[in-house]
């Protein structure tokens, strides 16, 4: 995480056509957001895109804390959920009073809700960073989640509070009843929020946040109060989390106490960290991947959460830069043209690694089916091959893939490391620092 600040300035200096490529990325993103539903127009994919869009805002807002300012929060869903609740209440109020507020403005209300709560509790919370902040955020998260069940009139108890997004005044003939219109509403907010959050990282405040993350003591020496900086970052993160919450409320037309809970906080932590916190686009990748996996895996397996945990542990242990970190590691090699030296070793390592992964999946599924045995039958369909969970042949296959894959993969990854060293040396000789 500490190397986050360095790559960005280097980019702007090296590329003379920087402005074009800089705005080009956002234009391409905008175009992609517009075109996506035209290509994949089924109801299911529209719902997925909407959820992914919300997850992107949520994960990016989380990264203001974890990636930019170095604050590990276990209760980020509080701002998200409170934003969602405020949005729902606002929608109901607007609908019943016929106020001239269109639906696209509602997420802003959610954002203000998140911001207000962040500013309320943030001053005490951000006094200290590190482990203490993590614990306090966990405690506040539990406090709010439990309180939401007591304050039934505001939070609607177990069932939550419902609303009707079409009851608000239509905008340019759009009632936001169909999912497609909701998708475009979400896409609009994704783009706006992403640009705003990126801009935030380029402001002096964003820079001083990075400094607070890396060395709070020196920040104090140059005349800034790290506490204030953390507080501001916490406020901004709360604001954008609230926007995500407001969008969720619009998307599902309901807000309930699950929005505030530990599961949601864990989800955003997974998304941001798996994607990679050191780069701005990391959480976007993570949000897309984790949401996609979440939607896809639940139909296939009963233990989808276990896979999340394992992927997360794997990333923490072997690639703490996340997916974005892994990708960006290859940048100097691509520029130096020495990427070709590592590709063969990757291909060789891929086979036993894949075998190991399949063995792990087969083992988990076998155990799950064998001990659970709830409903879905004991046949595991892996790559089109049916495995019977009770058959010793399946156990043998799982053990063989797991152990054999692990042993061979270890050897091949040593080769990858050697090839990597050689390629990195070449890149360094050609002047691209790896």
Partner 1 sequence: MAELIVISTLNGVLFGMLLFLLSSGLTVIFSMMGVLNFAHASFYMLGAFFGYQLTRWIGFWPALVLAPLLVGAVGMAVERYGLRNTHKHGHVAELLLTFGLAYAIEEIVSMVWGKSPMDYRIPAALDFPAFTVFSTNYPAYKIFMLVVSVTIFVALLIALKRTRVGLIVQAALTHPSMVGHLGHNVGRVFMLVFGVGSALAGLAGVIAGPSLVTQSDMAGLLGPILFVVIVFGGLGSLPGAFIASLLIGLIQTFAVALNGSLASLFGPLDPGLGPSPLTDIWNVTVAQIAPILPYLLLVLVLIFRPMGLLGTRES
User: Whose Cβ is closer to partner 1: residue 27's or residue 316's?
Assistant: 316
Site for partner 1 in 270-309 (CB under 8 A): 273, 302-303, 305-306, 308-309
Three-state SS letters, the chain: CCCCCCHHHHHHHHCCCHHHHHHHHHHHHHHHHHHHHHHCCCHHHHHHHHHHHHHHHHHHHHHHHHHHHCCCCCCCHHHHHHHHHHHHHHHHHHHHHCCCCCHHHHHHHHHHHHHHHHHHHHHHHCCCCHHHHHHHHHHHHHHHHHHHHHCHHHHCCCCCEECCHHHCCCECCECCCCHHHHHHHHHHHHHHHHHHHHHHHHCHHHHHHHHHHHCHHHHHHCCCCHHHHHHHHHHHHHHHHHHHHHHHHHHHCEECHHHHCHHHHHHHHHHHHHHCCCCCCHHHHHHHHHHHHHHHHHHHCCCHHHHHHHHHHHHHHHCCCHHHHHHHHCHHHHHHCCHHHCHHHHHHHHHHHHHHHHHHHHHHHHHHHHHHCCCCCCEEEECCEEEECCCHHHHHHHHHHHHHHHHHHHHHHHHHHHHHHHHHHHHHHCCCCC
Q: How far apart are CA 399 and CA 78, in angstroms?
A: 43
Shortest reach from residue 344's CB to partner 1, in Å:
27
User: Whose Cβ is closer to partner 1: residue 130's or residue 178's?
Assistant: 130
Q: Which stretch binds partner 1 (CB under 8 A): 21-29, 142-150, 354-362, 389-397?
A: 142-150
Non-local (6+) Cβ contacts of 33 within 8 A are 53, 187, 190, 191
Binding string, residues 358-397; x marks residues near partner 1 by CB under 8 A: ------x--xx--xx-x-----------------------
Binds partner 1 by CB under 8 A, chosen from 29, 95, 138, 295:
138
Give φ, ψ of 129 to 5 degrees.
-100, -165
Size of the site for partner 1 (CB under 8 A): 49
Site for partner 1 in 65-84 (CB under 8 A): 70, 72, 74
Shortest reach from residue 34's CB to partner 1, in Å:
36
User: Whose Cβ is closer to partner 1: residue 124's or residue 354's?
Assistant: 124
Binds partner 1 by CB under 8 A, chosen from 20, 28, 313, 347:
313
Q: Interface with partner 1 includes 335 (CB under 8 A)?
A: no
Q: Interface with partner 1 includes 151 (CB under 8 A)?
A: yes
Q: Which of 199, 229, 110, 239 is nearest to 163 (CA)?
A: 110
Q: Interface with partner 1 includes 404 (CB under 8 A)?
A: no
Beta bridge partners of 357: none
Binding string, residues 23-52; x marks residues near partner 1 by CB under 8 A: ------------------------------
Q: Which stretch binds partner 1 (CB under 8 A): 82-90, 136-144, 176-184, 218-226?
A: 136-144
Answer yes or no: are the C-beta atoms of 186 and 106 closer than 8 Å.
no
Answer yes or no: are the C-beta atoms of 245 and 79 closer than 8 Å.
yes
Q: Interface with partner 1 includes 116 (CB under 8 A)?
A: no
Shortest reach from residue 215's CB to partner 1, in Å:
13
Q: Interface with partner 1 includes 320 (CB under 8 A)?
A: yes
Binds partner 1 by CB under 8 A, chosen from 29, 119, 128, 395:
128
Q: Interface with partner 1 includes 262 (CB under 8 A)?
A: yes
User: Whose Cβ is closer to partner 1: residue 151's or residue 347's?
Assistant: 151
Shortest reach from residue 405's CB to partner 1, in Å:
18
Q: Interface with partner 1 includes 93 (CB under 8 A)?
A: no
Q: Interface with partner 1 includes 109 (CB under 8 A)?
A: no
Burial letters for 67-97: b for 16+ Cβ neighbours within 10 Å, e otherwise? bbbbbbbbbbbbbbbbbbbbbbbbbbebbee
Shortest reach from residue 361's CB to partner 1, in Å:
13
Binds partner 1 by CB under 8 A, chosen from 269, 285, 341, 361:
269
User: Whose Cβ is closer to partner 1: residue 105's or residue 417's?
Assistant: 417
User: Whose Cβ is closer to partner 1: residue 84's or residue 216's?
Assistant: 216
Binds partner 1 by CB under 8 A, chosen from 222, 317, 383, 393:
317
Binds partner 1 by CB under 8 A, chosen from 42, 96, 131, 299:
131
**Binding residues vs partner 1 (CB under 8 A):** 1, 70, 72, 74, 124-125, 127-132, 134-136, 138-140, 142-143, 146-147, 150-154, 262, 266, 269, 273, 302-303, 305-306, 308-310, 312-313, 316-317, 320, 364, 367-368, 371-372, 374
């Amino acid at each position: 995480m500490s190397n986050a600040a360095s790559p960005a300035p280097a980019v702007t200096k090296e590329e003379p056509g920087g402005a074009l490529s800089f705005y080009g990325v956002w234009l391409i993103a905008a175009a992609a957001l517009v075109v996506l539903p035209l290509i994949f127009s089924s109801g299911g994919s529209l719902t997925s895109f909407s959820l992914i869009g919300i997850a992107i805002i949520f994960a990016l807002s989380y990264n203001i804390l974890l990636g930019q300012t170095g604050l590990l929060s276990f209760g980020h869903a509080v701002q998200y959920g409170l934003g969602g609740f405020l949005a729902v209440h606002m929608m109901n109020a607007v609908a019943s009073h016929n106020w001239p507020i269109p639906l696209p403005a509602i997420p802003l209300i959610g954002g203000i809700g998140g911001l207000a709560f962040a500013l309320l509790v943030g001053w005490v919370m951000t006094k200290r960073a590190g482990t203490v902040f993590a614990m306090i955020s966990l405690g506040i998260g539990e406090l709010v989640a439990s309180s939401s069940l007591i304050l039934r009139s505001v939070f609607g108890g177990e069932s939550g509070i419902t609303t009707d997004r079409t009851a608000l005044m239509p905008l340019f003939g759009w009632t936001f009843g169909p999912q497609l219109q909701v998708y475009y509403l979400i896409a609009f907010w994704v783009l706006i929020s992403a640009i705003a959050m990126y801009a935030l990282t380029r402001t002096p405040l964003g820079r001083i946040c990075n400094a607070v993350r890396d060395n709070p003591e020196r920040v104090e020496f140059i005349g800034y109060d790290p506490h204030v900086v953390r507080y501001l970052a916490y406020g901004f993160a709360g604001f954008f989390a609230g926007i995500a919450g407001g969008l969720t409320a619009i998307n599902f037309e309901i807000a309930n106490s699950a929005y505030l809970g530990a599961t949601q906080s864990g989800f955003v932590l997974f998304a941001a960290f798996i994607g990679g916190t050191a780069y701005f686009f990391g959480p976007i990748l993570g949000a897309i991947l984790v949401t996609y996996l979440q939607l896809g895996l639940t139909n296939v397996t009963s233990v989808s959460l276990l896979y999340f945990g394992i992927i997360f542990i794997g990333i923490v242990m072997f690639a703490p830069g996340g997916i974005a970190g892994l990708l960006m590691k290859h940048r100097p090699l691509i520029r130096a043209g020495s990427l070709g030296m590592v590709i063969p070793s990757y291909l060789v390592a891929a086979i036993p690694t894949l075998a190991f992964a399949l063995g792990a999946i087969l083992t988990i599924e076998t155990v799950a089916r064998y001990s659970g045995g709830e409903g879905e039958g004991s046949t595991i369909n892996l790559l089109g091959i049916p495995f019977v969970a009770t058959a010793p042949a399946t156990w043998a296959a799982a053990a063989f893939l797991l152990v054999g894959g692990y042993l061979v993969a270890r050897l091949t990854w040593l080769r990858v490391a050697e090839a990597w060293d050689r390629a990195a040396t070449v890149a360094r000789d050609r002047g691209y620092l790896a």
